[in-house]
């Protein structure tokens, strides 16, 4: 999964990226946009690896990429190009000020900042759709792309981001090539000052996030960067001292998962213990296809056991005698924490 860190100049994107990368060098101001790939922390994978001692253990991985800045009337082409390459946007909003970074004229206003970014994305999509419609009109094309674009532009005109519009599978396919920015799932990141970590600074932003149905992560990028440079045990102590329950990395990953509506299922064995991410509602046969196309083509059944049930039983054999190992068909909807073993025949 690829997450774009997007936001206004100086919101703290690079600082956050360094925190996610666990220290090290990230691009300085004005240099090429930085990227970092991290393993999604998952205790279930670690515990299963402890039981199966596999040759290989694989976590889900997420790539974070800095995109930006997004300031001004229109998004510059290089910013748009960055947005097109990601699956989720994490919008970093500035909520801190100190001696070196004084408040801008008019004061800090993360809600306003978010609204302006949202309308930039919507406007940019509007222009793309409009241009394409003009072209299609000249060519007298009236296909599914044409009707889908009209549906899109009717909402964009009212400044409704495409994220909020439900398109049929056919319409989605017709629009996929445009990679509209306002269609991307969002997570908001409020970068607060060190003193605002415990208090709920900018409560209005919580209402806006709830209203939009997008996750909101509150953090101090600067503190998180400092934490990321400590040893794991020091990190735990420091987090406890500051009253932070989880490091930014965990919370941002969660936010991205929530925005994408992703769940994780697991596969186990002597060769590999692995976590896989799929969209909630994915059926067993599509989940099998994520592992390997042969498993989808030759799918017979999936043996499924809940992670918790397996831990309680300790072995697959015991789980079977206790009736915890189920046989499921192609249409079974995979749940978060399912351990899957696909029976197939090709």
Ligand X SMILES: Nc1nc2c(ncn2[C@@H]2O[C@H](COP(=O)(O)OP(=O)(O)OP(=O)(O)O)[C@@H](O)[C@H]2O)c(=O)[nH]1
The helix (H) or strand (E) run that includes residue 274 is: strand 272-279
Give the three-class secondary structure for 339: strand
Q: How far is the CB of 257 from ligand X (least distance, A)?
A: 23
Q: Return the one option of ligand X, Mg ion, none that residue 163 interacts with (CB less than 5 to 8 A, by type).
A: none
The helix (H) or strand (E) run that includes residue 342 is: strand 338-344
Please work out the total of residues on this chain that contact Mg ion, with binding judged by CB under 5 A: 2
The verdict on 191 binding ligand X (CB under 6 A) reads yes
Helix spans in 22-141 (H): 43-52, 77-84, 110-138
Residue 297's nearest CA partner among 344, 334, 329 is: 344
Show the binding pattern over residues 94-133: x = contacts ligand X (CB under 6 A), - = does not: --x-x--x--------------------------------
The verdict on 222 binding ligand X (CB under 6 A) reads yes
Name the phi and psi angles at 330, rounded to 5. -60, -35
Q: Return the one option of Mg ion, ligand X, none that residue 222 interacts with (CB less than 5 to 8 A, by type).
A: ligand X
The verdict on 182 binding Mg ion (CB under 5 A) reads no
What gap in Å lies between CA 346 and CA 343, rounded to an integer?
10
Degrees, nearest 5: CA angle 200-217-30:
115
* Residues of span 132-171 touching ligand X by CB under 6 A: none
Residue 83's nearest CA partner among 36, 121, 110 is: 121
What gap in Å lies between CA 253 and CA 202, rounded to an integer?
22
* Residues of span 4-23 touching Mg ion by CB under 5 A: 13-14
Closer to ligand X at the Cβ: 15 or 282? 15
Closer to Mg ion at the Cβ: 8 or 13? 13
The verdict on 13 binding ligand X (CB under 6 A) reads yes
Closer to ligand X at the Cβ: 68 or 161? 68
Residues that bind ligand X (CB under 6 A): 7, 9-15, 29, 68-69, 96, 98, 101, 191, 193, 220-222
């Amino acid at each position: 999964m690829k997450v774009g860190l997007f936001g206004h100049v100086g919101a703290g994107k690079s600082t956050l990226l360094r925190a996610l990368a666990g220290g090290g060098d990230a691009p300085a101001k004005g240099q090429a946009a930085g990227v970092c790939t991290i393993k999604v922390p998952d205790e279930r994978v670690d515990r299963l690896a402890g039981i199966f001692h596999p040759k290989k253990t694989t976590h889900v991985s997420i790539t974070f990429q800095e995109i930006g800045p997004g300031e001004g009337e229109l998004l510059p082409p290089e910013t748009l190009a960055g947005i097109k390459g990601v699956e989720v946007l994490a919008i970093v909003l500035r909520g801190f000020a100190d001696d070196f970074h004084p408040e801008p004229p008019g004061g800090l206003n993360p809600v306003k900042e978010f609204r302006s970014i949202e309308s930039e994305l919507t406007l940019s999509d509007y222009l793309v759709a409009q241009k394409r419609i003009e072209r299609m009109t000249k060519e007298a094309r009236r296909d599914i792309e044409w009707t889908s674009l009209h549906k899109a532009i009717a909402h964009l005109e009212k400044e409704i981001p495409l994220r909020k519009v439900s398109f049929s599978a056919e319409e989605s396919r017709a629009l996929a090539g445009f990679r509209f920015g306002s269609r991307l799932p969002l997570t908001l990141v409020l970068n607060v000052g060190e003193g605002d970590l415990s208090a709920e600074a900018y409560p209005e932003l919580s209402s806006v996030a709830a209203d939009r149905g997008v996750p909101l992560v509150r953090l101090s990028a600067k503190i998180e960067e400092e934490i990321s440079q400590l040893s794991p045990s020091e990190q735990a102590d420091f987090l406890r001292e500051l009253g932070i329950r989880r490091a930014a990395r965990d919370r941002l990953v969660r936010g991205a998962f929530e925005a994408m509506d992703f769940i994780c299922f697991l596969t186990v064995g002597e060769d590999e213990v692995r976590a896989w991410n799929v969209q909630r509602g994915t059926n067993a046969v599509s989940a099998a296809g994520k592992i390997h196309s042969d498993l989808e083509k030759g799918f017979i059944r999936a043996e499924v056991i809940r992670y918790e049930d397996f831990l309680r039983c300790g072995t697959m054999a015991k789980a079977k005698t206790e009736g915890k190992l189920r046989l499921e068909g192609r249409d079974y909807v995979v749940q978060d924490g399912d351990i899957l073993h696909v029976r197939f025949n090709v």
